[in-house]
Structure 1
Amino acid sequence: MGKLSTHVLDITKGKPGVGVNVALYAVEEGGKKLLKKAVTNNDGRCDEPLLQGEEVRTGRYELVFGAGDYFAAQGVEVPTPRFVDEVVIAFGIADPAQNYHVPLVVSPWAYSTYRGS
């Protein structure tokens, strides 16, 4: 069975984003369902997969990263309201047997993601 994982890279420092709040939601017909909350560790990763084994199901999901709060905690001066605050990455899992890695590369002014494995 597959798994879902993530990590955060702070490109203002060129280092892992440590202490970033992450929330995972399943997007369903009636709205969103919170599946898990985590905080990134010293490597910018969650301590365990967000989903694994039978938890991984075909469907639509959202990862929500507390990027604005992370940069504020780092002492980065940003305007009010923040340009990049909560970063929402909407994605789908088509094959639950595969590994899905959804990283966030972020600064106070931009962000990017890609599908890893």
Structure 2
Amino acid sequence: MSHVTTHVLDTATGRPAVGVPVTLFTAEGSALATGSTDADGRIASLGPDALPPGRYRLCFDTGTWFGEAPHFFPLVTIDFVLGGTAHHHVPLLLSPFAFSTYRGS
């Protein structure tokens, strides 16, 4: 399993957001991994098994996922800190005009 995983839930429908493109970056902006959410809205393998402590960024290409449907956020970027070797799960709760996130398990 990757050190960092994510999932996206479409809170407007209560269903997983399938096919959302996601990129994991270093704080300096170097891309480490890319993927798209699966049928359950998850990306279980996003990047290496281990990353050094520090700042990282997940970018969700929500504009591509929403397509022509009305939406306000074409890109959702979440900056976070890895503090050690523990697995980090960063979920995104998404609707066309709002989003939230939290440190998952």
Q: TM-score, normalised by structure 2?
A: 0.90
Structure 2 distance, partners of 1:111, 1:24, is: 18
Q: Does 1:59 align with 2:54?
A: yes
More strand by share: 2
RMSD (CA atoms): 1.8
> What residue ranges of structure 1 are gaps of 5+ in the alignment?
none
Percent identical: 40
* 1:78-101 deviations in Å (ceiling 9; x for gaps): 1xxx52110000001011x21110
CA displacement at 1:51 relative to structure 2: 3.4
Secondary structure, aligned partner of 1:89: strand
Partner of 1:17: 17
Of 90, 110, 114 in structure 1, the residue corresponding to residue 102 of structure 2 is 114
Q: Does 1:40 align with 2:37?
A: yes
Q: Does 1:105 align with 2:93?
A: yes
Amino acid at match of 2:101: T
Write out the 4+ residue segments of structure 1 that deviate beyond 4 Å after TM superposition.
Answer: none
Structure 1 contact 24–36 (Cα < 8 Å) conserved: yes
Structure 1 contact 68–108 (Cα < 8 Å) conserved: no
Count of aligned residue pairs for this structure pair? 105
Q: Which has the larger radius of gyration?
A: 1
